[in-house]
Amino acid sequence: MEDVIEQLREANEPVPVPLELPEEELLVEIQELLLIHIPEEMKEYLLTVSDVIYGTLEPVTVTDPKSHTYLPEVAATAWDVGLPRELVPLCQDGANYYAVEETGTVLLWDADEGAVTDDSWDSVWDWARDVWLES
């Protein structure tokens, strides 16, 4: 995890208005909005590197309700188009979504198939290393 955090920090692209990292209290509020528990590793991601801008993928954020990556809005859209309600979206990729199970496993949900694919990563950190940093 620490290696991936360091790689993401090094890859972070400068932007005119940088994102902010949330406080834990905000994550409690977000969970209440979602009516679902955010898996622990996803919470760690949100608290430590959700301000990183890198590559073509834009994982969810929680500090700016006006952002197109704002988790409650991304989740509402994802669940509306068929992502199973027990999955928490991590990142939209076109019409597809990377989403996190309660256990922390990241899955790829294919919108065309309306189903989870065989692609999976053991953790948010494995996904960040293998997918996000490679985007």
Query: What pLDDT is recorded for position 17?
Result: 87
Mean pLDDT of 3-13: 96
Mean confidence (pLDDT) of the chain: 97
* CA–CA distance, 4 with 134 (Å, rounded to integer): 12
Q: What are phi and psi of 123, to 5 degrees?
A: -155, 170
User: Hey, how many other C-beta atoms are within 10 angstroms of the C-beta on 66?
Assistant: 6
* CA–CA distance, 67 with 85 (Å, rounded to integer): 22
Q: Give the rounded percent of residues in the chain with a pLDDT score beyond 70.
A: 100
Mean pLDDT of 28-32: 97
Q: Give the rounded percent of residues in the chain with a pLDDT score beyond 90.
A: 96
* CA–CA distance, 19 with 1 (Å, rounded to integer): 21
- Under CATH, domain 2-132 is a member of which superfamily? SMI1/KNR4-like (3.40.1580.10)
Query: What pLDDT is recorded for position 66?
Result: 95
- Please, which pLDDT band fits residue 25 given cuts at 50, 70 and 90? very high
DSSP 43-74: HHHHHHTTT---SS-EE-BSS-TTSTTBHHHH
58-110: pLDDT as tens digits: 999 999 999 999 999 999 999 999 999 999 999 999 999 999 999 999 999 99
